[in-house]
Every structure is written in C-alpha cells, then in structure tokens.
Amino acid sequence: MPSSAKPWDAIRAQDIIASHAGYQGALLPLLQAIQIEFACVPEQVVPLVAKALNLSRAEIHGVLTFYPDFKRSAPVGPVIRLCVAEACQARGGRQVQARLEAVLGCKIDGSVNSMGVALEAVYCLGLCASGPAAIVDGKLAARLEGVRLERLIERISA
Amino acid sequence: MSVRIFVPADTAAVAMGADEIALAIELGARESGIPVEIVRNGSRGHIAIEPLVEVETAVGRVGYGPVTLADVPGLIAAGLFTAGPHAKRIGRPEETAFLRRQTRFTFSRCGLTDPLSLDDYRNHGGFAGFERALRLTPSEIIDEIDRSGLRGCGGAGFPAGLKWRTVLDADGPRKYIVCNADEGDSGTFADRMLLEGDPFTLIEGMLIAALAVGASEGFIYVRSEYPHAVQAIRRAIEIARSSGLLGETAGGRTRPFDIEVRVGAGAYVCGEETALLESLEGRRGQVRAKPPLPAHSGLWGRPTLVNNVLTFAAAPFILAEGGGAYASVGYGRSRGTMPFQLAGDIKFGGLFETPFGLSLEELIDSIGSGAATGRPIRAVQVGGPLGAYFPRSLFGTPLDYEAFAALEGLIGHGGVVVFNDTVDLLQQARFAMEFCAVESCGKCTPCRIGSTRGIELLDRIAAGARNAENIDLLSDLCDTMKVGSLCALGGLTPYPVLSALTHFAEDFSATRESGSTS
C-alpha cells in the first residue's frame, strides 16, 4: 500500500538481505521481504542481493521478470486485483471487469488511471463459490454484484 | 460460563465481512453484559450461507446465515446468545441438505473446531493416525496407504502409496517432503479451506509421510493469492513446534522433522511439481524434464515426496481408521472420498466431500440446486482451467478418474464450475489458450508458441474467416500441444478447447452470433 511504502534505504535493505541470506533457496523469500518493506523491488537492491547470494544480476533479473508478483516500482495509488478466471466469469466477472474498466478509464493490464488507481488481473482467489471476487489494497471482496459492486466503485472513485 | 459464538475466519467469510461481524458481536455482547467467547473457526464449506454465525447451546450449535454487518444489532435483539428466532436462523448447520449429504473423511473437523487449538484438534480425533504410525514400520505405513487406494489429489491421480514407496526406497542421506499448496485452478479452494480451517490435519499428514519415507524436512509452498491461508498454516506450525510436535523431538520420533512455509509469487505453473521445486530452490518456475522423477532426484537433487495438500491430509484418517475403511467407499479404481468444489453459477456452492462415483447431475442439480441466477445450465468445466467443458448430455458421467478420462476430461483437483446459457464456448476456448499463453513457463515450444497461435486461430474463427479450415488447424495445433508439451499446462490446455469444439460446435460455426448465445 502506497501510504506505508518506505523510501529506499540501503542499510535497511542490507539488514533484510543479511537476515535471509542463510536460507536454503533464499532468493524468493528475500525478494518478497524486500517488496514488503519498499512496496517494490528497487533497482538498487539487485546488485546487493547478487553479491550476497553469489548470483549474477541476470539471474535475479530473470526471477524478477518471471513472477508477476514482483513490482519494479511502488504503486502510486490503490490497486484493484480483480479475478478474471473461469469461476468468476461464470458469475458475471466479465461484466464486472468491463464496468470497472469503464469507470476507471483504464484496462485490466496493471495500467494506472489518471487518479492513480491500478487495475490488475488475478487468476483465482479461492472465492469461486462467491464471485466475482477481488482484492482491493489487500482487502478481500466477494459477490461483487448489485449494491456491493456499486459500493466498491464509490469507494475507489472517491 | 460464557457463550461460545463461532464466526469463521475463512477467506470466503472474511470477504463477506466476517471480521467486522465478529467485532460487532463482541461489542454487542459487552453492551448487553453477556460474557461471550468468539471462536474464529474455519468454514463448513456451505458457502451460500457464509458468513455463518453459530452459537453453542445445550442441544448443539445453532446457525445464522448469511449474516451481514447490518444484521448484527437485530440478531442480538432477537436473542442471538440464546439461539433466539430470526429470519436468518437456519437451525443446526449439519442438518442442512448440503452438509448432511456429505461423507467427510478429510474435512471432518473443518468448520467445527478452532483451527489453532491443539486441544480441539485432539478432542476431535486428531493425532490418532500419527500415533498409530509411530508404532508401525515405514513399509507398514505405506501398506496402509496402498490399501486405501488413495490417489494424488493435485490433479494427476497417481497412486499415493507407489509414490511414497519410491521415495522410501530411494537412497540418500537426506530426503524432503514438499506439500503443493499452489492451488491455482479456478473453481478450487479445498486446499485453502483446509489450510485456514484445519491446518493441523495437514501437519499430521506430513508427519506421517515423513515417518514413512524417512524425511527430515518439509516445505509447504502456498500461493501468494492466499494470504489468510499462509498466516493460518504459519501459526499452526509455530504452535506445533512449541509443543514439540515439530522440531528436534518431532512428536516422539527419534529423528527430527520440521516444516517451513514458502510463498509463491503469482505464477500458476509453479503448481506443476518440478516448476515448484525450481521455485523453492530460488529460480524461475520453469518445468524440469522427467526423468529423473522428483522421488529420485527432487529438491536440491535429493529424493523428494511431492504431494498436494489433500493427499497429505487424507493420511491421518487412513492411518487412524485403516486403509480398508477409506477404500470401502468410492467407484471403480477411484477409492475413498474427494472434496469436490462446486463453483460458478450455482445456488449452493462450496466444498462437498463425497465418495467418488456421484454423477455430475446429482452434484449440480440436486446438491447445488441449479444455477444461482435461475437460468438453464449449459456447460460445466470440471478440473480447473485444464479441464474439459461438458454439456448437459454428459451430466450422467460419474465423478471418477477413469470415466472422465474416457471422455477426454479430467477430475483434476475436484473443481466443478457451472456456466449458464449465456456462456460462449468459443470465448471460453479462447480464454484457455490465453491463460496458457500468460502462464506458460516458456521452456517448451508447443506451449509457449502454440498457445498464442491458438488465440489467433480462435479470433479468426470468431470473425467467421474460413471456419472449416481454421478449425482443422486448431485441432492439429491441439494435437501438437497435447503430445509435444513438457508438462500438463501445454499438454492439457487442448482439453477445454477441444471439448468446447466437440460438444458446443454451434458456438464455432460461421453463422454464430457474436457474443452470448442467449
């Protein structure tokens, strides 16, 4: 969440690296811890991680670009992650997507609208019997239809 | 004596406001001067009545649902704490048709107990299986699994006992067990429900498996889309560790055993076991060629047992009650029960654990009570995004691995997604290809390139361009993907595509109406 995102801090980053470097298969948990701290994996951290884990920067780049969770810059506003998978489609998910895209004025490809709201696709949140479902800034929302959808739209466009 | 109130902490309940409801009930009780104990239980799996608030009475638990935050003052005024009458009062939850008709082996405790109370777990039969396993040799434990007929619940349905024995027989000073909780299939949530609602069952199952194969370390790989499940299993592991069930003493074993939770990073393909191992080792989740099997050379090249959450979680029942008791129900070579997950446009969706062999029709029309929208049901996709779409004419098919395989379909992880008559099967086929293109690990060509060519072909068919020719080409492409892909992602994406084409040919015709068929 943007409000809690901390600015780059090399000492803090080194602390996180040091506390994870001893893990077996440390790279993912380490990058995840970095992202929790800075709301993204800043470019400056890559050489530090490479050195600590004895990896090349290319290997780290490969991992960062493979996994959709890793962000290269911190979100500027609220992030809406709408489920676009089959079970939500069957409950009207495509219509919710079209509605959100229209209201926000941005496509569901992670792009950010003029208000700084980002719309992202997620493939299943395990809410398949109570879709359409989304996570809005980390908070779960289910049965996004009728009043519940309108309330969500009000909240994000406020 | 305080009144015990149950408000689920399951994701499905929380997404509908359960946290706020729990808080409001607590405040309301304080104002009324009634001492209450709020238990954040798991979900019973009857999602249509979530959030389900229950109050413990002398004659059992009485439920109210689905409860909204706005209902709380009225509920308290109506005498919630003494199970008073209210429009949302449903009586005893276990007497609802949806729950009464289930056979719960794996999910027997889920929704009943406090997920983080070891006492609750023990009082509901927990650790009976592990205690019995401690008295058996590794080979005897696996004999019991063999007798049960248990098959891997992640999707492939491989005989669990055979896999366990392969790891037991593999030489190596160090062996691992890995629990695949990367439940990415749309329409499935059984792993999530168990992790959140009864995590000790998974821990017990992994303890039994570790004894059987001789592993000293276990990993649980949970997808990041399940933050509540990650938190629940982590806390359960801490509790198990502080009471000596994990760690150096590991519940009275001579060998230490511990479990670590690792979180995924949004890649569906990491649910494939070799991609999962790559991810655990800290690399891109790219599929490995087999052989070698993970059972021989898995995590860091060591013999590794990789099973789904539900497979491990079936072990405590099997060890406690005997493999014969598990195998006594089922259908053909699919023995025991499967926690099916009923989702999509269905009136009563949720988790339905039942012996294999129930027909799709019974599950959808009778148990699920038809579409939530009231529209006619046109198609059902069983087995997640790689599963086939079945038309109503195939709804008589029994839920059984072999029966589904014979129809070019799969049971997979037990997800059943119901679509009403507004579904456009060409769009669903396109989505299958699109999903494969987005999630492909990129290692093999049929999956990486084939999926994108598939999208293009389906767009051309949708536009009505040279339909017969393009449909032939699509079938050819599907053949190539099926036989030429390295793993199930590319290899099974043709299932939803070809089943849509075969059973819903009208959606692919040159004269199709664009968009919905209704």
* Interface pTM, i.e. ipTM: 0.96
Q: What is the pTM of this model?
A: 0.96
- Write out pLDDT tens, residues B310-353: 999 999 999 999 999 999 999 999 999 999 999 999 999 999 99
* CA separation for the pair B451, B116 (Å, rounded): 43
HEC profile for B335-363? ECEEEEEEEECCCCCEEEEEECCCEHHHH
Q: What pLDDT sits at residue A109?
A: 84
* CA separation for the pair B77, B84 (Å, rounded): 9
**What domains lie within chain B, and their CATH numbers?**
3-100 (3.40.30.10), 118-327 (3.40.50.11540), 338-420 (3.10.20.600), 425-508 (1.20.1440.230)
Q: Between chains, do B16 and A131 touch, taking CB under 8 Å as contact?
A: no
* CA separation for the pair A121, A100 (Å, rounded): 12
CB atoms within 10 A of CB B169: 14
Low-confidence ranges of chain A (pLDDT < 70): 1-5
HEC profile for B162-184? HHHHHHHHCCCCCCEEEEEECCC
Q: What pLDDT sits at residue B76?
A: 97
pLDDT band at B513 (very low <50, low <70, confident <90, very high): low
Measured in angstroms, the CA of B33 and the nearest CA of chain A are apart by: 32
**Helices A27-38 and A10-20 sit at what angle, rounded to 10 degrees?**
150
Chain B residues with CB under 8 Å of A66 CB are 267, 284-286, 441
Least Cα distance to B298 among B441, B162, B160, B174 occurs for B174
* CA separation for the pair B336, B329 (Å, rounded): 5
- Write out pLDDT tens, residues B258-289: 999 999 999 999 999 999 999 999 999 999 99
Contact B215, B178 (CB under 8 A): no
Report the b/e string of A90-100 with b at 16+ CB within 10 A: bbbbbebbeeb
From B12, B266, B435, residue closest to A67, measured CB to CB: B266
Q: What pLDDT sits at residue B516?
A: 44
Is residue B514 over pLDDT 70? Answer: no
Residue A117 burial class via C-beta count within 10 angstroms: exposed 0-12, middle 13-18, buried 19 and up: buried
Is B345 at the interface with chain A, CB within 8 A?
Answer: yes
- Which residues face B330 on adjacent strands? B335
- Write out pLDDT tens, residues B435-473: 999 999 999 999 999 999 999 999 999 998 788 999 999
Residue B105 burial class via C-beta count within 10 angstroms: exposed 0-12, middle 13-18, buried 19 and up: buried
* CA separation for the pair B6, B41 (Å, rounded): 6
CA atoms within 13 A on the CB side of B326: 29
CB interface of A with B, residues 29-58, below 8 Å: 29, 31-32, 53
For chain B, the average pLDDT equals 96
DSSP state of B495: H
- Write out pLDDT tens, residues A51-88: 999 999 999 999 999 999 999 999 988 999 999 999 99
Least Cα distance to B80 among B40, B41, B9, B29 occurs for B29
